[in-house]
Structure 1
C-alpha cells in the first residue's frame, strides 16, 4: 500500500490513501499557484485547518459537487452548514476520530481563523492524518511553538510546514520546528504564492540537511511524494 501526497499549490494538498482521495485546504479559485480547478478535483473527504479564504477556499463548491465529507472545527462546520453542506464532521483541538480513510487528530496552531464573511472561525488547527503508511502532520498556518515537541511524540513520517514567513513561520523557524517534530520527511508549503512570501527553497533544503535529521522534499505544484 502507498499513500500519495500531492502538492496543489499554497497550502492545498491531495492525499490518496486507503482507496480514498482527501483534499486539505483546497484553495484554487484566485490562487495564482494552482494548476487545477475546483470543478476538476476529486474528493471523498476535505480537511480544513482554519477559516481564512486561502485555506477554506473552494470547499463549499467542491463538497456540493462531489458529496465529500468535510472535517473541520465546530465553528467552521457550523458555518459550512449555513452554506448548505450536510455531510460534515465537527472536531476540536486535541480530539481525534477514526474515518474510513484514516484517523484525524487536530492540534493547536498559532494563527487567526476568521471566515470569508468575517464571522468567527474558531481556533486554527494543525492536522495529524494517521494512515496505514504512517502519520502525516499538516501544520497549517502557524508560528513556531515549543509544544511541537509533543506533536513529535506522534511518530511522524512526514511533516508539512509553512516556510513563507510574514503570515506564518519562516524558513529558519521551520528548521527549529523540524527538530521539535522529528519527522522522517519534511515538505514545505505556504510559500511562493505571492511575492510577499517568496522563499529560496534551495537554501531551505540545505539548512534542513545540515541542521536536522529529516530528509527535505521540495515538491513543484502538481508533483507528489509516495509514502509507503
Structure 2
C-alpha cells in the first residue's frame, strides 16, 4: 500500500512539474483575471459555463474508459488511404491582395481569409499532431499545406475560437506571432498567448456578444456550446466562442466548436443572413453530442444562422473520434439537400470566393 501511494504521489508530482514547465500547455488564469471575468454572465463558481448545463463532468473512470476506447477501437476507413494533397498557392498571389473577399482552407478548422484588403487567419493550427506532445496523437491527414507557413505574408489579425490543441497550437503561434499585428480571442485565452511571449498590446479579449472594430471590419464574439482546457486542472478556465466577421459588403460566420443549441438561431436573428457559414462537422459521438454537433445538426444550424451556403469544417484534418473520416461530409450533404441548403466542398487550398453564387466543387474525397 505504501509503495502504491508513493508511486501515485510521484506520478502526480511529475505531471504538475511537466505541465508547469513544458510551454505547449500554455498559461494559467490568475486570481486577478478571474476577478475580472466574474463580470461575465458565463463565469460562475470560478470557471466559464455554457448557457445550458453542459458538458457533463466525467468521472476519472469514465474518462479512462473513453481514452481506452479511442486508442483501442479500430475504425474502418478512419483515415484517408493516403495523405490528402493540398492545392498549392503562390505566395506572391497572397501578398497585397485587394480583390473580392476570399478564403483558403488549410484543413480541419484553419483558414486564411482575405477581406477588404486585410489578411486574417482563423484558428491557425499547422502542427502534425493535435496534442501537447507528438507521441500523444495521430498525424494530421495532410503533410503539406497550400502555402509554406514561413511564406505567409504579414497577418493583419488572427482569430481564435477556443484553446483546445486542434485549434490553438504552441508551435504555430511561434511561427506567426512576429508577423501578426493583432490577436482576437474569447476571454481568458490571452493567458496562453502571453505565456508564449505575445505582447499584451497585440491581444484583444471579448466576451459573448461583444464586438470590436478592426480597420473597417466588425468582429463579433458570439456564443458556442463547448468547453475549454489544455490540462487536467484548468478545464473551463478560458471561454469558447464562435465569430461573426463583417465588412461593408460581406458577412461571414465561423462556428468554432459547438454542440447544437438555441444560440445558432439567436446569432442568425441578430447578425444573419450570412454569405458563408463555416460550420463544425466532424469528431462527433452520441456520447458527447452536447459539445460537438452530429452532421444532421450541422445542416440545421446552417438554416438557423440564415446562411446562404455553408462549408463543413472540423473534418479532413485529424482523427479525433470513432467515425469514418468521410462520414461527416456524406451525412451533412445528404441532410442539407433535404433542407435545400447549399453546401460547398473545396479541397484543402482551393480558393473560396465568399460571395460566389456558383458551386463548382467536386466530391474529391471519394475513393480516398
149, 154, 159: which one pairs with 2:277? 159
293, 303, 311: which one pairs with 1:179? 303
Q: SS where residue 179 of structure 1 aligns?
A: helix
Are 2:277 and 1:145 aligned? Answer: no
183, 196, 204: which one pairs with 1:89? 204
Q: 1:124 to 1:54 in 2, by over 3 A?
A: same
Are 2:109 and 1:11 aligned? Answer: yes
Residue matched to 1:62: 175
170, 189, 208: which one pairs with 1:76? 189
TM-score of the aligned structures, taking structure 1 as reference length: 0.90
- Name the Cα RMSD after superposition: 2.2
Are 2:226 and 1:122 aligned? Answer: no
- Retained in 2: the 8 A contact 1:4–1:225? yes
Residue matched to 2:219: 104
Q: 1:60 to 1:184 in 2, by over 3 A?
A: same
Q: 1:172 to 1:148 in 2, by over 3 A?
A: same
- Retained in 1: the 8 A contact 2:259–2:293? yes
Q: Which range moved further: 21-30 or 202-211?
A: 202-211
- Retained in 1: the 8 A contact 2:189–2:239? no
Are 2:148 and 1:24 aligned? Answer: no
Q: Which range moved further: 193-202 or 7-16?
A: 193-202
TM-score of the aligned structures, taking structure 2 as reference length: 0.57
Gaps of 5+ in 1: none
- Retained in 1: the 8 A contact 2:224–2:258? yes
Deviation string, structure 1 residues 180-200 (Cα, Å, up to 9, x no partner): 112101000001323435234
Residue matched to 2:162: 50
Deviation string, structure 1 residues 176-224 (Cα, Å, up to 9, x no partner): 2122112101000001323435234244223212213x31101211112
State the structure with more CA Rg.
2
Q: 1:29 to 1:141 in 2, by over 3 A?
A: same
Q: 1:205 to 1:99 in 2, by over 3 A?
A: same
**C-alpha distance in 2 between matches for 1:225 and 1:151:** 23
- Retained in 1: the 8 A contact 2:165–2:230? yes
Deviation string, structure 1 residues 41-84 (Cα, Å, up to 9, x no partner): 33221100000111012452134331331110231113312321
Aligned residues: 227
Q: SS where residue 55 of structure 1 aligns?
A: coil
Residue matched to 2:247: 131
Gaps of 5+ in 2: 1-98, 130-139, 356-368
Q: SS where residue 239 of structure 2 aligns?
A: coil
Residue matched to 1:225: 352
Structure number with the higher helix fraction is: 2
